[in-house]
Copies of this chain bind each other. A is one copy, B any other.
Amino acid sequence: MSVTAAKGFTAAGIAAGIKENGNPDLALVVNTGPRLAAAGVFTSNRVKAAPVLWSEQVLKGGRVSAVVLNSGGANACTGPKGFQDTHATAEKVAEVLDGHSAGEIAVASTGLIGVLLPMDKLLAGVETAAAQLSEHGGEKAAIAIKTTDTVHKTSVVTKDGWTVGGMAKGAGMLAPGLATMLVVLTTDADVESDVLDRALRAATRTTFDRVDSDGCMSTNDTVLLLASGAAEVTPEYAEFAEAVRQVCDDLGQQLIRDAEGASKDIKIEVVNAATEDDAVEVGRSIARNNLLKCAIHGEDPNWGRVLSAIGTTSAAFEPDRLNVAINGVWVCKNGGVGEDRDNVDMRYREVHIVADLAAGSETATIWTNDLTADYVHENSAYSS
Contacts of A46 in B (CB 8 A): 310-313, 317, 319
The residue in chain B whose Cβ has the minimal distance to the Cβ of A289 is B216
Contacts of A319 in B (CB 8 A): 46-48
Contacts of A383 in B (CB 8 A): 295, 300, 302
A359 within 8 A of partner (CB): no
Contacts of A302 in B (CB 8 A): 113, 382-383
Q: How far is the CA of A245 from the CA of B377 in the complex (A)?
A: 38
Interchain CB contact under 8 A, A300 and B114: no
- Chain B nearest CB: distance from A245 CB in Å? 26
Question: Which one of B82, B290, B303, B384 contacts A336 once the chains associate, using CB atoms below 8 Å?
Answer: B82
Most B-side CB within 10 Å, residue of A112, A302, A334, A372: A302
Question: Which one of B297, B336, B372 contacts A78 once the chains associate, using CB atoms below 8 Å?
Answer: B336
Q: How far is the CA of A53 from the CA of B218 in the complex (A)?
A: 40
A76 within 8 A of partner (CB): yes
Question: Which one of B45, B76, B317, B380 contacts A295 once the chains associate, using CB atoms below 8 Å?
Answer: B380
Interchain CB contact under 8 A, A312 and B217: yes
Interchain CB contact under 8 A, B380 and A304: no
- Chain B nearest CB: distance from A374 CB in Å? 8
Interchain CB contact under 8 A, A116 and B337: yes
Interchain CB contact under 8 A, A298 and B384: yes
The residue in chain B whose Cβ has the minimal distance to the Cβ of A336 is B79
Interchain CB contact under 8 A, B379 and A376: no
Q: How far is the CA of A289 from the CA of B305 in the complex (A)?
A: 19
Contacts of A335 in B (CB 8 A): 47, 77, 79
Interchain CB contact under 8 A, A334 and B79: yes
A51 within 8 A of partner (CB): no
| Complex interface residues of chain A between 303 and 341 (CB less than 8 A to chain B) | 303-305, 307-313, 317, 319-320, 322, 332, 334-337
| Complex interface residues of chain A between 55 and 104 (CB less than 8 A to chain B) | 74, 76-79, 81-82
Q: How far is the CA of A97 from the CA of B294 in the complex (A)?
A: 42
Contacts of A288 in B (CB 8 A): 215
A381 within 8 A of partner (CB): yes
A24 within 8 A of partner (CB): no
Most B-side CB within 10 Å, residue of A114, A302, A332, A373: A114
Interchain CB contact under 8 A, B307 and A113: yes
Chain A residues in the interface with B (C-beta under 8 A): 45-48, 74, 76-79, 81-82, 112-116, 172-173, 177, 214-219, 288-291, 294-295, 297-298, 300, 302-305, 307-313, 317, 319-320, 322, 332, 334-337, 371-373, 375-384
- 27 CB contacts below 8 A, A to B, read A46-B312, A46-B319, A47-B310, A47-B319, A48-B311, A76-B307, A78-B336, A79-B320, A79-B334, A113-B303, A113-B305, A113-B307, A113-B308, A114-B303, A114-B332, A173-B308, A214-B290, A215-B288, A218-B308, A290-B371, A290-B379, A291-B379, A294-B375, A297-B380, A300-B380, A300-B383, A302-B383
Q: A47-B307, A216-B291, A217-B311 are in contact. List 15 more A-B contacts (CB 8 A).
A: A46-B311, A46-B319, A47-B308, A47-B310, A74-B304, A76-B304, A113-B305, A114-B303, A114-B336, A116-B337, A214-B290, A219-B311, A290-B379, A373-B373, A373-B376
